[in-house]
Amino acid sequence: MKIIDEINRLKAEQHAIILAHNYQLPDVQDLADFTGDSLELSRKATEITADTIVFCGVYFMAETAAILNPDKTVLIPDLHAGCPMADMITAGQLRAFKAEHPHAKVVCYVNSTAEVKAESDCCCTSGNAVNILRHYEGQDVIFVPDQHLGTVIAETLGRDLILWPGYCPTHARIQPRDIQELKAAHPDAVALAHPECPKPVRMVADQILSTGQMCRFAKESPAMEFIVATEEGLLHRLRLENPEKIFHRVSPFAVCPNMKLTTVEKVLFCLRNRAPQVHVEEPIADRARRAIHQMLAWS
Ligand code: 13P
Ligand code: SF4
């Protein structure tokens, strides 16, 4: 295909690498050098030797890559690919919340702006959240912005967390009956739900897992059939890696419109134009980097 050849030519010319999140469109995932969940992508961003990173995901992910690679060019194919959950708390709101709880540590979900990360002691992803919070045993902790992931952590560890009422609008569209109806039709299917799903959905699922954990679970499980309660983009990778297994889409509404803004054509344009680029100004980047490095050190 001509467009892929041209992308590959520009990639070689610019020493570029393409990273993609598991929710990206299938042809974007196929194009990427590496596809993963937020934790895997953050780790990958610390190992990059290429000069240019094309980040196919949403803005906070590209921003994290830029914070970890201040000397590299980070391109995002569509500047409008934001995350509504990340925008549910501003740095000013977090500062005011901290003032209400002056002794509390702050852990922020990586789905947050650089400014919010800069106000935090540590970041986490859905793949390492419970383990990160083990490091704060016996201490008051503010957790932002996802109330649902925060509740999963609190329930798993049997502790309280001071939660911010943010949520993912895409996972909020998944209903418990979506899983119940699929289970009734496919009684052997194992229901996997992302921790961003609201509690009534999580309660009817068999496993609560990040997208990367879902990939590992599906591969290692003897089960042959799965209900996948997360954004539909993950189905492509699950089906590709497990051609003999069956994966049911939980709902036609579990689509993140921001993740779908990235297309193969936009990848080509951004490499051709070396734009849009993602920059994070120091000292915000410096403070946010500390919170990300703390997470990586504990993961
Ligand atoms: P993970 O891929 O880390 O599970 O994150 C899900 C998500 O919503 C990213 O925006
Ligand atoms: Fe944000 Fe939800 Fe989309 Fe992930 S799926 S980018 S949390 S809106």
Note whether 187 and 223 are within 8 A (CB).
no
Ligand nearest to the CA of 88: 2
Per residue in 10-28, pLDDT tens? Answer: 999 999 999 999 999 999 9
pLDDT, tens digit, for every residue of 60-80?
999 999 999 999 999 999 999
Kindly give the distance from the C-alpha atom of residue 1 to the centroid of ligand 1, in angstroms, as a whole number. Answer: 30
Structural domain tally of the chain? 3
Q: Which atom of ligand 1 is nearest to the CA of 168?
A: 8
User: Domain check: are 75 and 93 in the same one?
Assistant: no
Asked if 222 and 271 sit in the same domain, the reply is: no
Ligand 2 centroid – CA 196 distance (Å): 9
Q: Which residues line ligand 2 (CB under 6 A)?
A: 23, 58, 83-85, 111, 168-170, 196, 231, 256, 258-259
Domain stop point among 122, 147, 167 = 167
Judge whether 63 lies within some domain.
yes
Neighbours of 128 (CB within 10 A): 19
For residue 229, what pLDDT is reported? 98
Location of structure tokens 């919010």: 116
The mean pLDDT of the chain is: 97
Cα–ligand 1 centroid distance for 11 (angstroms): 26
Q: What angle do CA 85, 35, 241 make, to 5 degrees?
A: 115
| Same domain assignment for residues 119 and 134 | yes
Residue 206 located in a structural domain: yes
Quote the CA–CA distance of 58 and 41 in Å, as a whole number. Answer: 12
Please indicate, yes or no, whether residues 230 and 219 belong to a single structural domain of this protein. yes
Look at ligand 2, atom 3, and give the residue with the nearest C-alpha: 256
Residue-level pLDDT at 211: 96
Shared-domain flag, residues 70 and 99: no
When pLDDT is averaged across residues 219-228 and rounded to a whole number, the result is 98
Residue 118: pLDDT band by 50, 70, 90 thresholds? very high
With pLDDT > 90 as the criterion, what percentage of the chain qualifies?
A: 98
What's the confidence (pLDDT) of residue 11? 97
Beta strands at 16-21 and 52-56: parallel, antiparallel or unpaired:
parallel
147 lines ligand 1 (CB under 6 A): no
Is there a domain that residue 94 lies in?
A: yes
What tens digit of pLDDT does each residue of 134-154 get? 999 999 999 999 999 999 999
CB 58 within 8 A of CB 83: yes
Secondary structure letter of residue 189 according to DSSP: P
Residue from 87, 48, 90 nearest 70 by CA = 48
In angstroms, rounded to a whole number, what is the distance separating the alpha carbons of residues 159 and 102? 19
Alpha helix positions (H), 46-137 = 59-68, 91-100, 114-118, 129-134
Number of neighbouring beta carbons within 10 Å of residue 279: 13
- pLDDT band at 226; cut points 50, 70, 90: very high
Do residues 93 and 49 both lie within one domain? no
Domain at 13, CATH number: 3.40.50.10800
Q: For residue 25, give the 3-state DSSP assignment.
A: coil
Looking at the fold, whether 91 and 77 belong to one and the same domain comes out as no
**288 is a domain residue:** no
Nearest alpha carbon to residue 195 among 160, 155, 233: 155
Q: Which two tokens stand for residue 104?
A: 């509390």
Q: From CA 176, how far away is CA 194, in angstroms rounded?
A: 13
Domain that holds residue 75: 2-83+259-280
Q: How remote is the CA of residue 1 from the centroid of ligand 2, in Å?
A: 31
- 243 by Cβ neighbours in 10 Å (0-12 / 13-18 / 19+) ranks as exposed
| pTM, rounded to two decimals | 0.96
Q: Does residue 91 lie in a domain region?
A: yes
Convert the pLDDT of each residue in 247-270 to its tens digit.
999 999 999 999 999 999 999 999
Which candidate, 197, 209, 193, places its Cα nearest to that of 170?
Answer: 197
**Percentage above 70 pLDDT, the chain:** 100
Are both 243 and 268 inside the same structural domain? no
Q: Check residue 255 and give its pLDDT.
A: 98
254 part of a folded domain: no
Given a contact cutoff of 8 angstroms between Cβ atoms, the answer to whether 83 and 119 are in contact is: no
Q: Tell me which of 227, 249, 271 is where a domain ends.
A: 249
DSSP string, 59-81: HHHHHHHHHH-TTSEEE-S-TT-
Nearest-atom number in ligand 1 for the CA of 58 is: 10
Amino acid letter, 42 = S
Same domain, 120 and 107: yes
Output the pLDDT for position 72: 95
Residue 1 has pLDDT above 90, yes or no: no
Rounded to the nearest angstrom, the distance between the alpha carbon of 26 and the centre of ligand 1 is: 16
Query: What element of type H or E holds 53?
Result: strand 52-56
Ligand 2, residues 64, 85, 197: which to mutate, most atoms within 8 A of Cβ?
A: 85
Q: Token pair of 253, please?
A: 């509404």
Q: Is 296 a domain residue? A: no
**Is 290 domain-assigned?**
no
Considering the domain architecture, whether residues 158 and 120 belong to the same structural domain is answered as yes
